[in-house]
Structure 1
Amino acid sequence: MTLFKSAPKSLCVLRLSAIGDVCHAISVVQAIQKQWPETEITWICGKIEAQLIGDLPGIDIVVFDKKLGFKGMKAIWKQLSNTRFDALLHMQAALRASMLSFGIKAKYKIGFGKNRTKEGQWLFTNKHLPSSNSFHVLDNFADFARYLGVPFESPQWDIPFSEEEALFAKDITDAKPTLVISPAASKDSRNWLTERYAALADYASDKGMQVVLCGSPAPREVTLADSIQKLTNEKVINLVGKTSLKQLTALLGEASVVLTPDSGPAHLATTQGTAVIGLYAHSDPRRTGPYNGLELVANAYDEHIQKQTGKALNDIPWGTRAKGDDLMTSISVEQVCKLLDKALEKK
């Protein structure tokens, strides 16, 4: 059973962050647009995420500044005070998002099913997805489209670039085989070892590839990139902190292969159809990995989570993370070199 038999007049999407999850949500929102081009869509997102989705066709972006706290919420409520949506897609099961949803007017407020929700989202919604067997985060988002009445089979993305952004990426890659390494995850414990990034960069260089480092201007990311660069035998292009989010996405699209731990760039690259070598030890790559590239994932999660829980993989609750600061040491340089060879052969 679906919620709408015909196109609703208006929908509001509530997905504030993070970059990877916003990438997943884009494919769902654009599937809705394709099915119901006349439906007006408003998307409430964070400031950084707005850099990526701010110029998506046919979507009205409302930016929430989380640093403003409750004051920022009241600003959103005031901005939307004269708007009542047919449905709110509450796609972020976090208390902050739920509090923000409280002041948004919508006939239906749709949240995750009971086996996927958390942090009391159930209390802020009046419609709930059925309990889901979907495993990957993107597939759980796709359940929102299906619940509305929009078919969803496989994700597609249409992220526009300006001429300057496209030229920036082409100038960097210069039509050469290029490995982009985005070395920093959201937590340092989820990063691969610095010397192993450097060894992989040298391996790629020996295969005739140019290597580009990318990341945000956060000091810890700049420091990590500088350390990798100093350990490499070959010259690498260090762009950490030197690109906008859209320039980065365009660059990932021009790359031959992207190497990254569990981070937003894995999913940005996926939106561009670029092969991703994902490095995963703390979260299940089948849930949070690059959607179209799980065959290129270095997966240390299975080993660690089974040791820590004593359970078979099928018996471990969805979303369970492995704990520890040294889990990424289980991923060897040799293992990742083989994945790079596999990616290049496939390409």
Structure 2
Amino acid sequence: GEFSGLNAPRTFWPWLKKTRSLRPDVALDFQGLLRSALIGKVSGAREFWGMSDGREGSRLFYRRTAKVDRRAHAVDRYLKLAEAFGARVPDQLRFPLPTGDPLPRFDPFPPFVLLHPFARGNRKSLRRSVVEKFCEAFEPVRIVIVGKSTRQISVPENCVNLLNQTTLLQLIWLIRAARFVVSVDSGPMHIAAAVTSQLLSIHTWSDPRRVGPYNSEAWIWKNGQLLRAGEITPTTKLKRGRAFRDADVKAIVDLVGEIPEAPKS
């Protein structure tokens, strides 16, 4: 984080001063961790709301607490907090996102599969051998790799490596242009869930019942099993997590199916 290492003292005090000057009427803690609770407290908000499943002692800082089901999906828990505060939640939720920015010199044809293989947590990320196997298994279909990572990967000719080369708006454009999106559990996966149902979210150790794609038509991979997100409820029994292996790639190829040559309309 921005306050880690030797840089922490130099960056912390200006941040603290700026945050204390905010003085909002109300602060809502949707993260429910000690760090987010401290930020809310330091802001000097007259009212500070949090959720009943807050961790790391965060609930000690709240003035008001919204009762939530800790087994429920994160989006549903966040909506409960917003409702408790007084916001009106419509029956049909919309997640409006911009159309995004096209990439210079990138042609959306021939059609491609977008792969987002790496996340901040190493246990969430795919191994390099899996990424290489993924590209090989889909050949000659074009695979476009996106995200941020310091990992060095070797990919065949049908792969376009855009790691560390896209803005957020360019990423959104690529998600919209892709025939199918395959992503580990991450922020870009949730963006994709708001944009398309042609999505597979890979969950190694994370729980898709709580943090999977909030799109009933999207697909979920968990411990070698493929499920529609709409088939999973807070009480669904799931096996313990495991890493995504080279041998699991074939099922993804079968799921995505044949990519037609015609451009996406």
Instruction: Give TM-score scaled by structure 2 length.
Output: 0.78
Contact 1:255–1:274 (CA under 8 A) maintained in structure 2: no
Structure 2: how far apart are the matches of 1:186 and 1:110?
A: 28
Name 2:80's counterpart in structure 1.
Answer: 143
Give the secondary structure class of the aligned counterpart of 1:179: strand
Quote how far apart the aligned CAs of 1:127 are.
Answer: 0.4
Contact 2:197–2:215 (CA under 8 A) maintained in structure 1: no
The C-alpha deviation readout for 1:67-100, integer Å capped at 9, x for no partner, is 4646655434533555432321111222222222
The C-alpha deviation readout for 1:241-285, integer Å capped at 9, x for no partner, is 111233222222221211122222211222333522112221111
Correspondence for 1:159 among 91, 97, 100: 97
Matched, 1:219 2:219: no
Correspondence for 2:42 among 95, 103, 114: 103
User: Any unmatched runs of 5+ in structure 2?
Assistant: 226-233
Contact 1:173–1:255 (CA under 8 A) maintained in structure 2: no
Correspondence for 2:66 among 119, 129, 133: 129
Give the secondary structure class of the aligned counterpart of 1:201: helix
Give the secondary structure class of the aligned counterpart of 2:213: coil
Matched, 1:240 2:163: yes
Structure 2: how far apart are the matches of 1:75 and 1:196?
A: 43
The C-alpha deviation readout for 1:294-336, integer Å capped at 9, x for no partner, is 651122188xxxxxxxxxx9499xxx9957xx63239612221
Where in structure 2 are the equivalents of 1:127-276 lying within 5 Å? 127-132=64-69, 135-149=72-86, 150-160=88-98, 166-168=101-103, 172-206=106-140, 209-216=141-148, 218-220=149-151, 223=152, 226-227=153-154, 229=155, 232=156, 234-273=157-196, 275-276=198-199
Instruction: Give TM-score scaled by structure 1 length.
Output: 0.61
Contact 1:183–1:261 (CA under 8 A) maintained in structure 2: yes
CA RMSD of aligned residues (A): 3.4
State the percentage of identical aligned residues.
21
Quote how far apart the aligned CAs of 1:142 are.
Answer: 1.5
The C-alpha deviation readout for 1:148-182, integer Å capped at 9, x for no partner, is 22214444223336xxx52327x524243210111
Matched, 1:327 2:243: yes
Greater helix percent: which structure?
1
Structure 1's 129 and 71: CA in aligned 2 closer, same or farther, altered over 3 A?
farther
User: Any unmatched runs of 5+ in structure 1?
Assistant: 1-45, 47-64, 303-312
Give the secondary structure class of the aligned counterpart of 1:211: strand
Corresponding residue pairs, total: 251
Give the secondary structure class of the aligned counterpart of 2:26: strand
Contact 2:51–2:66 (CA under 8 A) maintained in structure 1: yes
Structure 2: how far apart are the matches of 1:202 and 1:87?
A: 52
Contact 1:181–1:211 (CA under 8 A) maintained in structure 2: yes
Quote how far apart the aligned CAs of 1:204 are.
Answer: 3.2
Name 2:30's counterpart in structure 1.
Answer: 91
Name 1:119's counterpart in structure 2.
Answer: 56
Contact 2:49–2:85 (CA under 8 A) maintained in structure 1: no
Structure 1: how far apart are the matches of 2:44 and 2:251?
A: 51
Contact 1:135–1:286 (CA under 8 A) maintained in structure 2: yes
Structure 1: how far apart are the matches of 2:74 and 2:206?
A: 12
Structure 2: how far apart are the matches of 1:78 and 1:195?
A: 46
Give the secondary structure class of the aligned counterpart of 2:69: coil
Structure 2: how far apart are the matches of 1:111 and 1:257?
A: 36
Contact 1:298–1:335 (CA under 8 A) maintained in structure 2: no
Structure 1: how far apart are the matches of 2:239 and 2:42?
A: 33
Structure 1: how far apart are the matches of 2:189 and 2:251?
A: 18
